[in-house]
Every structure is written in structure tokens, then in C-alpha cells.
Amino acid sequence: MTALALEIRVVISGFNDRRCEVLLRREVPPEVQSNFALLDGWAQKATMAIGYDMKHTQRWECEACGQPARETWFDPRPSLRPSEPVVVLHIHHLCETGGGPCHTAVENRARELAIEVGDMVPPPSLHLPTPSGSVMPLASGCAKCQRDETGAPGSHISRCSRCKLTRYCSVKCQTEDWLRHGKICKTVKEVKWVNWEDNTQEQDLPLRMPGAYYP
């Protein structure tokens, strides 16, 4: 069977229209290529698997108010044509969990974007129940340990030298996360930062995984 790749086009959004646009390609297993239901299920899992890798990429701020972001809202838009399966994934950063004015503002903006591109399917509801007392980790923090102090202003945090995206507070955390992140890392093909005038994304020194291959 001819090799087929799922293309995941990610748009990560933050405050002041700051964005990161990422292109990933992942080979589709032969056993799901000819069955739409299987392909759809596999594509959903493949898309959601990149969550930590896309969230912990920058000192993201709430898209609505500019406060440090904690919650990440995923809005996938699949177009699974047999010859060219594509998922457009919009990722929105928010300061709060469990609803509120920022949720409402971002949800309304997501609907506007859907209309602008001619997508008649409304975004999924953003107002999801959050367990009482739970606190989501800062998006600016380490993708492995997710401690708030790793994402605080002035903290030292570095990014993977291959994908140029996912950030870690230490080689130890990167090494411990490599079994998971490595599968995603190799699928990243393009990264584009938009409206980051201060070049914040270039201030982090890249980490290198011991023994890993970096083309």
C-alpha cells in the first residue's frame, strides 16, 4: 500500500495576536488507511497526543486578557480525504479554568474565525467542568515536571534543539520525557513564529538529547 501521511497544521494563539504555526507530518498505519472510521479515530489520537509538546512552547499569555496562560483549549478541524488527510488544530491559551469572561471572549473569537474560513461546524464548547481545587500548569513551564517556578519570569528554561518547540527546565526532564516527546519531535517539519517582535522565542538555548539524532 502507498505510504500516506497525516498532515497536522497547528495554529497556537496567545495575547496580542501572537501565534506559532507548526506543521507536523505523521505516517498513517496501513491498516487504517482504507477505513474512514479507523482513520478518523487514529487521527484524533495522533492530534491530541501533541498536547504537551504544543502547550509548553513559549511564555504564552491569555488570548483575552494577557495574564499568564494555564488552560489550553484544543479545537481540531479534520479533513480526512483518503489521498490527503489533514487536521487543522487551533490551540487557544487562557488564564483560567472552569469558565469565565476570558473563556467567553475566546469562544466567540473561535466562532468568528470558523465563519471567516467558511467552516460551518461550530467550535466545541469551551466551558468544560474542572475538578474543584485543580490548577492547570503554566504554559510557560517545563513540559515534563510542569512546576510553576520553571515558567516564572527570569527562570532558566530551554527548548528541544531538534523541533525548536518543546521547552524543558533541565536535561534531566528532557531525558525523562524523550520516550514520549521523541515520537512527536521527529514529525515536526516547520515552525513559524508570528508577531513575536521581541524575538522571545530565540532567547532560549537549545538542549540536546544525549545519544539522540539531530539532523
pLDDT of residue 9: 94
Nearest to 60 by CA among 182, 178, 151, 150: 151
Q: Dump pLDDT digits (tens) for 158-181.
A: 889 889 899 999 989 999 999 999
pLDDT of residue 96: 76
Q: What is the pTM of this model?
A: 0.84
pLDDT of residue 214: 39
Which residues of the chain are under the pLDDT cut of 50? 126-129, 132, 199, 201-205, 211-215
Query: What cell numbers appear for 130 in the block?
Result: 474542572
